[in-house]
């Protein structure tokens, strides 16, 4: 409901014919606007003391429909039509017996006493008028995020979610690679300790769930070798070739597991800055749209809107930089794991070849 303020017409408000002088309607509208703000708990003097500024009219449009006369009892209304980034648009009417006499649409901007324009009021559904008046100097990250447009806020929320998922993937991969390295080193130490291949295979079969990649590769090669022997295949080349193919297949499966989440980190590293840039471009476009009706634009007017938009770019970089560092680190570590396992395949193949040459029936020693 619009705010209503009663005004009685006196001699001082009229011309010689008893008709209200046209310029006096501006006074009526100003009184109604002041009382409207006061009813919301925002006094002009209080606003001046707290923020060092006040609202000034930068644009006004009036339409006179009928004149008001001496002794008329008018109702002057005030209603917030739009709260832009750097302006307030207030619609006011002068009514006589519910009949519109004058219509006004006025745009206000907050100014500091030194002539510096302040940040515009923002809409707030919890406030009775739908607005809240903020200090332009409140440039904290939280305030900038809350004041951004819904598209920019959606981009920020997306980037924040991606960042959390990225960090979770980083820590998961970090612990997984440490475990792979430890298990491979333990098995390799047992392998070169002189234990027979049959004993190592039996241990790998019993410990299949907790075995490392290298131990599973070894087990797959031994398993294929024994299956071929059970078919009474005695050709060394066939036995060796079968074991190598089995180990290669197992190696690919193990590397697929080790490389999991790496593509996600790569996508985050490459896409996040562009998503943040999209949010920034949209925010800047939205900010400049709010300045379209302003006759004078200062740095103090532009800064809050630009700062809000740039938060999206900052979040995009915040998501991308750790992902880039982690991707490069993990890619290097995974290459080392892959080279280590390929080297083991070649060494184990050489051992099988020597044993098959010396004892065609049993690869028990190395």
Average pLDDT on 102-130 reads: 54
Contacts of 68 (CB under 8 A, 6+ apart): 9, 19, 20, 74, 94, 96, 101, 102
> Do residue 104 and residue 211 come from a single domain?
no
CA dihedral 312, 300, 143, 323 (to 10 degrees): 20
Residues 250, 158, single domain; the answer is yes
Report residue 132: phi and psi, to 5°: -135, 145
Q: Residue 71: which residues within 8 A CB-CB, separation 6 or more?
A: 8, 9
**C-alpha span between 327 and 163 (Å, rounded):** 14
DSSP for 322-342, written as a single string: HHHHHHHHHHHHHHHHHHHHH
- Are residue 90 and residue 144 in the same domain, yes or no? no
DSSP letter, residue 193: T
**In this predicted model, what pLDDT tens digit does every residue of 265-286 receive, in sequence order?**
999 999 999 998 988 888 888 7
Q: With 60 as the cut, is the pLDDT of residue 136 above it?
A: no
- Both 224 and 292 in one domain: the answer is yes
SS3 124: coil
* Residue at which a domain ends, from 98, 117, 136: 136
Q: What percent of the chain is modeled with pLDDT above 90?
A: 31
Band (pLDDT 50/70/90 cuts) for residue 363 is low
Cα three-residue angle 70-74-79, rounded to 5 degrees: 150
71 lies in the same domain as 176: no
Domain boundary among 79, 102, 136: 136
Same domain, 165 and 66: no
**Do residue 209 and residue 342 come from a single domain?**
yes
Residue 135, pLDDT score: 43
Is 90 in contact with 58 (CB distance < 8 Å)?
Answer: no
Angle at 233 between CA 227 and CA 239, to 5 degrees: 70
Say if residue 116 is in the same domain as residue 240: no
Number of Cβ within a 10 Å radius of residue 88 = 21
Cα torsion 250, 251, 254, 259 to 10°: value is: -150
Tell me which residue has tokens 């703000």: 37
- What is the rounded CA–CA span in Å between residue 29 and residue 36? 10
pLDDT above 90: residue 7: yes
How far is Cα 33 from Cα 93, in angstroms, rounded to an integer? 11
**SS3 state at 82:** strand
Point out the residues that are catalytic: 15
Find the CATH number of the domain harbouring 49: 3.10.129.10
Residues 9, 121, single domain; the answer is: yes
Residue-level pLDDT at 355: 78
- Residue 293 clears pLDDT 80, i.e. is over it: no
Q: Collapse the DSSP code of 20 into the 3-class scheme (helix H, G, I; strand E, B; otherwise coil) and give the result.
A: strand
The beta strands (E) that lie in the chain are given as 3-8, 53-64, 73-83, 88-96, 99-112, 122-123, 131-132
Q: How many domains does the chain have?
A: 2
Instruction: Give the model's pLDDT for residue 301.
Output: 63
Question: 75-91, pLDDT tens digit by residue?
Answer: 999 888 777 656 778 88
Please check whether residues 225 and 179 belong to one and the same domain.
Answer: yes
Question: Is residue 40 within 8 Å of residue 129, measured between CB atoms?
Answer: yes
Residues 93, 176 within the same domain = no
Backbone angles phi, psi at 8, to 5 degrees: -95, 140
| pLDDT at 156 > cutoff 60 | yes
pTM: 0.56
Distance of CA 253 to the CA centre of its chain: 35
Please tell me whether residues 243 and 362 are part of one structural domain: yes
Reported as a single tens digit per residue, the pLDDT across 250-266 is: 999 999 999 988 999 99
Structural domain boundaries enclosing 366: 139-366
Q: CB neighbours of 261 closer than 8 A, spacing ≥ 6?
A: 169, 172, 173
What are the percentages of helix, strand and coil residues in the chain, rounded to 5?
Answer: 60, 15, 25
Please say which residue of 92, 118, 136 terminates a domain: 136
Question: How confident is the model at residue 120, as a pLDDT?
Answer: 45
Round to whole Å and give the CA distance between 239 and 246. 11
CA distance 235 to 244: 14
Query: In the block, which residue shows the tokens 């809050």?
Result: 304
User: Which letter does DSSP use for residue 12 in this model?
Assistant: G
Provide mean pLDDT across the span 154-179: 92
């Amino acid at each position: 409901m619009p705010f209503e303020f009663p005004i009685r017409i006196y001699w001082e408000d009229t011309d010689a014919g008893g008709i209200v002088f046209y310029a006096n309607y501006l006074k009526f509208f100003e009184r109604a606007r002041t009382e409207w703000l006061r009813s919301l708990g925002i006094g002009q003097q209080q606003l001046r003391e707290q923020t060092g500024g006040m609202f000034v009219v930068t644009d006004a449009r009036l339409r006179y429909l009928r004149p008001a006369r001496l002794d008329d009892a008018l109702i002057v209304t005030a209603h917030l039509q739009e709260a832009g980034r750097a302006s307030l648009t207030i619609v006011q009417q002068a009514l006589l017996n519910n009949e519109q006499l004058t219509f006004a649409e006025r745009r206000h901007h907050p100014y500091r006493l030194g002539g510096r324009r302040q940040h515009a009021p923002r809409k707030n559904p919890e406030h009775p008028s739908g607005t809240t008046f903020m200090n332009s100097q409140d440039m904290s990250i939280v305030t900038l995020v809350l004041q951004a447009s819904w598209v920019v806020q959606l981009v920020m929320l997306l980037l924040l979610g991606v960042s959390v998922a990225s960090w979770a993937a980083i820590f998961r991969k970090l612990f997984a690679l440490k475990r792979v390295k430890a298990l491979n080193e333990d098995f390799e130490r047992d392998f070169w300790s002189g234990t027979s291949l049959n004993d190592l295979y039996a241990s790998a079969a019993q410990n299949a769930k907790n075995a490392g990649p290298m131990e599973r590769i070894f087990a797959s090669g031994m398993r294929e070798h024994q299956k071929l022997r059970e078919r009474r295949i005695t050709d060394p080349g066939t036995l060796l070739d079968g074991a190598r193919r089995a180990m290669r297949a197992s190696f690919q499966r193990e590397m697929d597991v080790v490389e999991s989440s790496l593509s996600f980190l790569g996508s985050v590293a490459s896409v996040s800055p562009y998503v943040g840039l999209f949010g920034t471009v949209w925010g800047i476009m939205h900010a400049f749209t709010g300045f379209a009706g302003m006759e004078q634009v200062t740095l103090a007017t532009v800064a809050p809107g630009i700062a809000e938009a740039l938060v999206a770019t900052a979040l995009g970089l915040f998501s991308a930089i750790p992902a880039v560092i982690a991707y490069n680190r993990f890619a290097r570590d995974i290459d080392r794991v892959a080279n280590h396992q390929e080297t083991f395949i070649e060494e184990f193949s050489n051992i099988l070849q020597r044993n098959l040459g010396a004892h065609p029936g049993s690869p028990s020693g190395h």
